[in-house]
Amino acid sequence: MSDNAAKLELNGTTYDLPVLKPTLGPDVLDIRKLYGEADVFTFDPGFTSTAACESAITFIDGDVGELLYRGYPIEQLADKSTHLEVCYLLLYGELPTSSQLADFTQRVTRHTMVHEQMHYFFRGFRRDAHPMATMVGVVGAMAAFYHDSTDINDPWQREVAAIRMIAKLPTIAAMAYKYSVGQPFVYPKNALSYSGNFLHMCFAVPAEDYVVSPVLEKAMDRIMMLHADHEQNASTSTVRLAGSSGANPFACIAAGIACLWGPAHGGANQAALEQLREIGTVDRIPEFIAKAKDKTSGIKLMGFGHRVYKNFDPRAKVMKESADEVLGLLGVENNPLLQVAKELERIALEDDYFISKKLYPNVDFYSGIILEAMGFPTAMFTPIFAISRTVGWISQWKEMIGEKNQKIGRPRQLYIGPAKRDYVDLRHR
Ligand code: ACO
């Protein structure tokens, strides 16, 4: 893996740092022995220059705006594949044959219902709870309902836990939604597709039939595929770190959901739509852009910027096309929020501030508009992201647990607190 070494000179001694060669992407300096040999740590808050693991799942080239799942470009998958096929690809490394896909679909479908007792667990939450709060709690509680798949040392249990979470997350998110609007829970309908079933569980009511629109079903499936994995982002790293201690898979995914909720990560889709609403009309955009450029305002343009993409986010392109398609179908092409979004994007992309900082629309800029047009309240945007990302989290967790020399994650620090000092008795302080 390493054919040359970088040299680090420190206090008169030279240390060799092996250079690891990836299949794609920049070389990686191996500093694993540095502390042992040179008694120094490296400092990298936010992990901007640190590869924390080896992974064969997802590759991003942020400079050219490329995203590959197991080598396949996201645009091709979003155009030709389905979310369940993408789940198979991410989990097992290859696109399935038709019999493998049929078998996988059947395995997922058989697990879509949740334990009936879980309904009571849901009813313990306040009706006005944010569905992400409910999801963190319910997914964590899956360990109590499905303890026959919590032994991480048993590959069969790991597999069952993976299938259970991919199958049940849509049911759990739909239940959180139904509970928040005071409607009865809708059981899954296994004749429907993965995304069709999710729409059904959210929008059907016992009083009348609900027919899933094929365009909305396809758009939802695309949203799922586009969000399915994204390399070592904050929530995935959270899942890996939680899992590195040997925690059960349900607890790890609950930790990932908690991290995803933040507005700098998955919460940005809700924040982006709320911001578009706040702007309201095209004439207010310049005033708003000025605020986003002013550091003292504390305002950022939500749905813009990305830690890795410094050219464009390939998912945003697909999402923008989907927004046009869905709004066209629903006959709301003139949706004022879409007009504001498009104009905001146009103005920002011509502005020196955004150009010089390489800030482009990310996946969340347009996804909220589609979801709102479908009938989802903003609070459901991040739960839908969580459903989609579940397969990525699980694939990364399984990859980590399967590693031979897997270690607990334990970063070090640059200590800047007081030096050692003696305790001062209360009466002398
Ligand atoms: N609006 C205005 N200015 C911005 C924005 C923005 N959306 N994003 C970054 N900047 C500025 C920063 O203030 C900073 O300026 P400086 O160099 O003068 O200090 C510079 O651009 C670099 O930004 P950082 O925050 O250092 O970049 P980082 O890689 O740490 O953050 C992030 C990336 C968190 C995504 C950031 O761009 C952001 O907060 N965007 C808005 C929230 C958002 O849309 N998040 C979704 C991310 S995608 C996802 O999770 C699916």
What digits encode the pLDDT tens for the residues 415-424?
999 999 999 9
Give 256's DSSP letter: H
3-state secondary structure of 399: helix
The position carrying tokens 């250079």 is: 19
Answer for the pair 322, 222: CB distance below 8 angstroms, yes or no.
yes
Percent residues over pLDDT 70 in the chain: 99
Cα separation, 341 vs 304, whole angstroms: 11
Decide: 361 in ligand 1 pocket, CB within 6 A.
Answer: no
Among 14-23, 248-257, 265-274, whose mean pLDDT is lowest? Answer: 265-274
Is the pLDDT at 218 greater than 60? The verdict is yes
Please report the pLDDT score of residue 418 as a whole number: 98
> How far is residue 85 from each of residues 100, 168, 194, 365, measured CA to CA in Å?
10, 17, 11, 26
Active site residue 306: yes
Is the pLDDT at 219 greater than 90? The verdict is yes
Please report the pLDDT score of residue 332 as a whole number: 78
Strands of the sheet containing 13-20, edge to edge, are 2-10, 13-20, 28-29
Cα separation, 126 vs 301, whole angstroms: 32
Decide: 303 in ligand 1 pocket, CB within 6 A.
Answer: yes
Percent residues over pLDDT 90 in the chain: 81
Please report the pLDDT score of residue 334 as a whole number: 76
Ligand 1 centroid distance, CA of 259 (Å) = 17
Tell me the average pLDDT across 380-407.
Answer: 95
Among 76-90, 320-334, 359-373, whose mean pLDDT is lowest? Answer: 320-334
Name the residue of 224, 310, 351, 359 whose CB sits within 8 Å of the most ligand 1 atoms, as the mutation to test its pocket. 359
Please report the pLDDT score of residue 339 as a whole number: 87
Tell me the average pLDDT across 128-140.
Answer: 96
Closest ligand 1 atom, residue 230 Cα: 51
pLDDT grade for 330, boundaries at 50, 70 and 90 = confident
Please report the pLDDT score of residue 365 as a whole number: 86
Active site residue 227: no
Please report the pLDDT score of residue 5 as a whole number: 92
The DSSP code sequence of 369-387 is: HHHHHHT--GGGHHHHHHH
Digit-coded pLDDT (tens) for 75-123? 999 999 999 999 999 999 999 999 999 999 999 999 999 999 999 999 9
Tell me the average pLDDT across 207-224.
Answer: 93
Please report the pLDDT score of residue 364 as a whole number: 85
Is the pLDDT at 1 greater than 50? The verdict is no
What is the residue-averaged pLDDT of the chain? Answer: 94
Decide: 362 in ligand 1 pocket, CB within 6 A.
Answer: yes
pLDDT grade for 369, boundaries at 50, 70 and 90 = confident
Decide: 231 in ligand 1 pocket, CB within 6 A.
Answer: no
Please report the pLDDT score of residue 3 as a whole number: 58
Q: Report the predicted TM-score, pTM, of the whole model to 2 decimal places.
A: 0.91
Tell me the average pLDDT across 5-33.
Answer: 96
Please report the pLDDT score of residue 172 as a whole number: 98
Where b means 16+ CB within 10 Å and e means fewer, 324-353 reads ebbbebbeeeebebbebbbebbeebeebee
In this structure, the dihedral spanned by the alpha carbons of residues 78, 249, 50 and 266, taken in order and rounded to 10 degrees, is: 50
Cα separation, 244 vs 407, whole angstroms: 6
